[in-house]
Structure 1
């Protein structure tokens, strides 16, 4: 990387001052707290103020709003998110001053090397939920894990924890090949689909990245892979590491038997190579969550966790923050929020929602990034048609500039009966006018669409 004659581990010692660029991000915030807990002096910057930024300030971590080279102060090294580019003034300022710059993933990778068991959960979809399920299982087993999740888990009241056991559990993202800086002893691959096409060329390029991720596992480790997902299986083809498969539709080492719905949620036996390992009753909906649970159970099994902990952990799991999270009731309609921002995730969410028996499914969707919306436009259109009512918020820019000239209004023109709203206030007002008793209202997207639901509930 840039200006880096030494590995980042040489800087991860008490008393060193680190500056985090993008400190308010979902994996940067926990990194800030973990580094602070290790005795480092932590500071950072972010583009906007947020609840996360205020939380960090409450811990005594100074956070500047806006990016400026002066924010670096007298820091010893810099850690940035994958979304921060070389042209960022703080990165350019660090390079000019000879301050080493490292990636967020390199920091997590250096931290995980201290753990005998590094359980890394990857995939295009389902990472947060499956990492959360693994956390529940390992907590039930009293393994005292260290955890980093890309969302909030009610069990932890946060998206991370610092434990004292021999296991670290990390949500592992492929964007910008971030997870290739990790050192997994167990690599879980949930699925491999087209996404992040602002970085990857195509699906084959994404599969190559996951292949390299699987090859990071040592010979004594395991690659846990979804036998039902063609992209995942293509990605691990030729990998010379122990493979452990899970699935429902294809032969696999771990599968479900006696699968049924009990009070609307899945209930099943987990079989490992034909032998019963655990009996699971989930409290989250959908076939996709059965697969997530099988992935978590597989990871637990290869790491020697007893089936009783799988039963207890998954029984207590009610979902991660922003993953089909119940927010409240408005005018007799139930309001949920979900992080889905890819067509496949929308399909899983909306097919599950339609099977739940509500009078109508009302979706307020906020696309995430211009490139994703453009590249997967037709798929978004088709999946959104599964809803009875579609309200479209403007695209959430995240790390991008709108060089493509695309808008959610373009989606609206292709979805009959849909409504386009240019602001979240207008989304909330449209929901207020639309909601009827018996409806299921979903605010959906990886940006700040949840705020529209919160505005709606405040008006109730």
Structure 2
């Protein structure tokens, strides 16, 4: 099919309220597609901009809502039993998965930069987007969080480069053929789909193989799975990390009192520049090197790239300061995988504080079960841990795995001060009663826990 054939036809998005799906709808709208509509099970903060663009938005799913559709797009969170998807298939309406639409849009730009990896995709995509935008390259941008520079998660540019997150879930990134593929790391996740680490590695290998012969793969040499695939991919590649054995590496890493890293950036033994980041976390010493190499490969000066990295203050829901309560700072981070939780806690360590609180919402019953042992040990460094009920999302309730079980295992394995509180209102009330001036509180998870600060600040929970 040709996407442009649908510019004057009705396109219906099922689950339009998510960050990526709403972003794709925005891109189509700005590309001149006239009749875009969609549905979601609940109001979300991403729907208002769509309505402002004139899109019809339905709250709730109903088969009748696709009767006029001429193309239907649905997200990975939507099962085959969804009434709208079933009706679209009955009517013979063409149907696209979210990743297939992303692939079609990416093909409209001569150069695609795909940022893949189990962890760090949104932050690294944001860094690259910031660099290209500040350099005047006018890229198309598609990422999983808001980039403050553009006030959105997407932007329609006309410079010939498409910068996008490349998510591995359900092999979504295999609809992309990036001229520049970035692989940050390869870890065990989405085991409900992949079933094994071997299958995850095979998927990333396929992603690398889809880079054209004249393209490049940029990967972290500190990650054993990534390094092995780079050496086998048959494409030109560059590695980065902390060791001089990599193509590029960082040395002399220091941290500001706010926890923001600075380092010297080398290619081999040649010092290229000094870098000061505008965000916290040692992990971002690695992520920012991927962004710098991407800039070099696309002819952007290091001076411009370094300035952009200093200007980059993070993406939405990534170590995002939400406010203060009783002198305690409240941050939110999207991290839900145990490696991400541990990295975010580590990122907060250099920041001056009295006590570190972590409020964690596990994501998915299947993921909590698969990562149970790692989750039980990922909160080290936190003074106080609260775990609320599991966010089930697309999965049915599973009584065989609970947050209370996870709390008991954390206490058993680490002896940490970890308690179970079922819901966000109760957790917020507990925090309001126990937070002290100088405390730092991290709310973490990919589900609805980002609304917790609304309860803390006595606001109505944001949509």
TM-score, L = length of structure 2: 0.94
Are residue 332 (structure 1) and residue 323 (structure 2) matched?
A: no
Worse overlay, 49-58 or 118-127:
49-58
**Cα offset, 1:290, TM superposition:** 0.6
Q: Judge conservation of contact 2:18–2:44 (CA < 8 Å) in 1.
A: no
Are residue 380 (structure 1) and residue 380 (structure 2) matched?
A: no
The equivalent of 2:167 in structure 1 is 173
**Cα offset, 1:297, TM superposition:** 0.7
**Cα offset, 1:103, TM superposition:** 1.2
Listed as ranges, the matches of 1:340-355 within 5 Å are 340-355=335-350
TM-score, L = length of structure 1: 0.95
Q: Against the structure 1 CA distance between its residues 176 and 198, is the aligned structure 2 distance closer, same or farther, given a 3 Å change threshold? A: same
Are residue 450 (structure 1) and residue 450 (structure 2) matched?
A: yes
The equivalent of 1:14 in structure 2 is 7
Cα distance in structure 2, aligned partners of 1:278 and 1:398? 44
Are residue 314 (structure 1) and residue 296 (structure 2) matched?
A: no
**Cα offset, 1:393, TM superposition:** 1.3
**Cα offset, 1:325, TM superposition:** 0.8
Deviation per CA, 1:128-175, whole angstroms, max 9, x where unpaired? 000000011111211011100101111111111111111110011000
Q: Judge conservation of contact 1:210–1:236 (CA < 8 Å) in 2.
A: no
Q: Judge conservation of contact 1:13–1:38 (CA < 8 Å) in 2.
A: no
The equivalent of 1:190 in structure 2 is 184
**2:80 aligned counterpart, secondary structure:** coil
Q: Judge conservation of contact 1:278–1:310 (CA < 8 Å) in 2.
A: no
What is the aligned-residue RMSD (CA, Å)? 1.5
Cα distance in structure 1, aligned partners of 2:16 and 2:82? 14
Say which of 277, 292, 313 aligns to 2:272: 277
Corresponding residue pairs, total: 452
Q: Judge conservation of contact 1:13–1:39 (CA < 8 Å) in 2.
A: no
**1:139 aligned counterpart, secondary structure:** helix
Listed as ranges, the matches of 1:59-458 within 5 Å are 59-249=53-243, 251-263=245-257, 264-403=259-398, 405-416=400-411, 417-458=417-458
Worse overlay, 383-392 or 239-248:
383-392
Unpaired runs of at least 5, structure 1:
1-6
Q: Judge conservation of contact 2:253–2:264 (CA < 8 Å) in 1.
A: yes
Deviation per CA, 1:292-329, whole angstroms, max 9, x where unpaired? 10011111111221111211110101111111111111
Q: Against the structure 1 CA distance between its residues 10 and 429, is the aligned structure 2 distance closer, same or farther, given a 3 Å change threshold? A: closer
Q: Judge conservation of contact 1:11–1:77 (CA < 8 Å) in 2.
A: no
**1:395 aligned counterpart, secondary structure:** coil
The equivalent of 1:4 in structure 2 is none
**Cα offset, 1:183, TM superposition:** 1.9
Cα distance in structure 2, aligned partners of 1:383 and 1:329? 25
Deviation per CA, 1:409-430, whole angstroms, max 9, x where unpaired? 1112223332222211011001
Deviation per CA, 1:362-411, whole angstroms, max 9, x where unpaired? 11111111111111011111112431101111111121112353221111
**Cα offset, 1:187, TM superposition:** 0.5
